[in-house]
Amino acid sequence: MKALVYTAPEEMQLLERPMPEPGPGEVVLKIEAVGICGSDMHAWHGHDPRRKPGLVLGHEFAGAIESSTVDGITPGTRFTGNPLITCGRCEYCVQGRNNLCAARTMVGMTRPGAFAEYMSIPVTSLVAIPQEMPARAAALTEPVATAWHAVNLSLRSLVRPLHECRALVIGGGAIGMSAALLLRHLGVADLAVSERNPLRRQALEKHAGCRTLDPAAESPSDSAFDYVIDAVGAAATRNQALSAVKPGGVVMHVGLQDWASEIDMRRLTLDELTLLGTYTYTTADLRAAVDGLHRGIFGDLSWVEERPLEAGPDAFVDLDEGRSAAAKIVLKP
Ligand SMILES: [Zn+2]
Ligand SMILES: [Zn+2]
């Protein structure tokens, strides 16, 4: 089979790889669509020590069952899936918070990912989709679920209902775009998105109907927002988020570009800010994302660009250089 292999920093190659075999409790999916994630970009830059050259990346997939070692799984049935492979037995898994499972491993990181014609995965990671759901929509389940999980966690901390809140989203990639569309759907009073790429700003205005600002030209106003989502997670955006939020407001930290940086703990304390972290999604979030995508909450998805798997190496370069207006590029093997 053909697979897009991460061969060296800033290098991807389409190579011939052996067809995967399903291990015990596993299925092999014929991949129909797979999204390029910010974390794949991070790996491609050589910045993720967990993702080493020789790996097939890609964890935002949809596909059809090709083969299986599990009874009751019909070949041809289409699924998306949870790329986090969890133990199913620990405290967190039992509580349904399987994103926090300490034993978790991940597709496209600790095992070959979905930038390929076929991929094996445990049957317990499969997430059902309506069989007529387009592959592009199904492959968006994972990034949408990330936004869904983040928004749900933060809504519990807002003091006033969302329809009374002014919100700022920092970063207009797939997570920022999904969060913006979800906040719109949930009736946020006022929404602004900060994004560097002018093509993406246009897409955000068109699809999420929000104000946008270019952080290179203007900073978000200080103490102006009840709720801020940092979907970049760099030292600069983290500080921007903490400045832009009103006293008593909530900052949700989703992206993770810089691991550590100094933040203004004095402001956090004196202004009673709530700073929250969020990591990925639970299986319940993935199911909610499938349902939301299917019901059209995230629009017609014309903010997603499709390209063939062979065009993957160029897609990484285009994303890196900000040449694509799309908040997400989905590859189709
Ligand atoms: Zn991802
Ligand atoms: Zn577990």
Q: Which ligand is nearest to the CA of 146?
A: 1
CA 181, 183, 185, 190 dihedral sign is negative
The mean predicted confidence, pLDDT, of the chain is 96
pLDDT of residue 95: 96
User: How buried is residue 21: exposed, middle or buried, by Cβ count under 10 Å (0-12/13-18/19+)?
Assistant: exposed
pLDDT of residue 83: 97
- The Cα–Cα gap between 283 and 83 comes to 10
Q: What is the whole-number distance in angstroms between the Cα of residue 56 and the centre of ligand 1?
A: 14
- The Cα–Cα gap between 65 and 333 comes to 15
Please determine, for residue 259, whether its predicted confidence score (pLDDT) is greater than 90.
Answer: no
pLDDT of residue 256: 82
- The Cα–Cα gap between 171 and 200 comes to 10
Please determine, for residue 156, whether its predicted confidence score (pLDDT) is greater than 90.
Answer: yes
For 300-308, what is the mean pLDDT?
Answer: 94
- The Cα–Cα gap between 182 and 178 comes to 6
Q: What is the whole-number distance in angstroms between the Cα of residue 271 and the centre of ligand 1?
A: 33
Q: What is the DSSP letter of 156?
A: T
pLDDT of residue 327: 86
Residues with Cβ–ion distance below 5 A, ligand 1: 37
Q: What is the whole-number distance in angstroms between the Cα of residue 84 and the centre of ligand 1?
A: 11
Please determine, for residue 228, whether its predicted confidence score (pLDDT) is greater than 90.
Answer: yes
Please determine, for residue 179, whether its predicted confidence score (pLDDT) is greater than 90.
Answer: yes
DSSP 272-305: T-EEEE--S--HHHHHHHHHHHHHTTTTT-TTEE
CB of 63 within 8 A of CB of 32? yes
Q: What is the whole-number distance in angstroms between the Cα of residue 24 and the centre of ligand 2?
A: 19
pTM of the shown model: 0.95
User: What whole-number percentage of the chain has pLDDT above 90?
Assistant: 95
